[in-house]
Amino acid sequence: MSALLEVKNLNVYYKENRSRRQVLHDVSFTVEEGEILGLVGESGCGKTTLSRAILGINKDIDGQIILKDERPRMVFQDPAASLNPARSIGWILEEPLRNAGVDKATRRKLAEEMLCRVGLNETYYHRKPRELSGGQRQRVGIGAAIIGNPKFVIADEPVSALDVTIQAEILKLLVELKNDLGLSYLFISHDMDVVWQICDRVMVMKDGEVVEYGTRDEVFDHPRHPYTKKLLAASE
């Protein structure tokens, strides 16, 4: 494997009034081709800040972010909030293709194919997000993220808003798509059980710093940092 994403000594800052506050401190890691790296930590630890820096939204940074894929995409936590309620599912799926200049007939064909790939079908093309269940909306969100053929996807708490049965279905879909399309994920979660199910390696963040980083078995079976031990104990 080779690194699809390499982050070196990353520091991220926010402006607050007239001051500049450092949010991430010297963060370094890689995401290898074809792997799922789990990013774990409680709310406010810096997970979203890191993802926004990788996507180029947070620009006040120093350090290096080296990304081979020029089109990283994101699957959001709440599909109800991330999908435009005024637009049809077909329009939503086609938006990345529209922005890329793909012609109308090809967009329609690819959108219908994507609906089938994520476990829906062509009949959903004209529906609105409000007509879908939470799990169906998340399938659409995943489809919208991958329809432009990215190799790297950030999945930000993609199953936390779903019940346990639907969670399992969405996790299975993410793994299938990874294997079929050669995707790599940065999988953000606060749920250690979910991370155990899906991730190859795990990175634990606390207060903007990486406190644990290793294979899934290393982190779960031989945690070194007290914070990691606390997270694991809370999930038992």
| pLDDT band at 225; cut points 50, 70, 90 | very high
| pLDDT band at 74; cut points 50, 70, 90 | very high
- What is the pLDDT averaged over residues 57-71? 89
Is 156 in contact with 48 (CB distance < 8 Å)? yes
Contacts of 27-30 with C-beta under 8 Å, sequence gap 24+, read 27/63, 27/205, 27/208, 27/209, 27/210, 28/210, 29/203, 29/210, 29/213, 30/3, 30/5, 30/6
Sign of torsion over alpha carbons 7, 187, 46, 83 = positive
- What is the pLDDT averaged over residues 50-67? 94
Is 127 in contact with 167 (CB distance < 8 Å)? no
Per CATH, the architecture of 1-72+154-163+174-236 is what? 3-Layer(aba) Sandwich (3.40)
Residue spans of the domains in the chain: they are 1-72+154-163+174-236, 79-149
Partners of 201 in the beta sheet? 37, 215
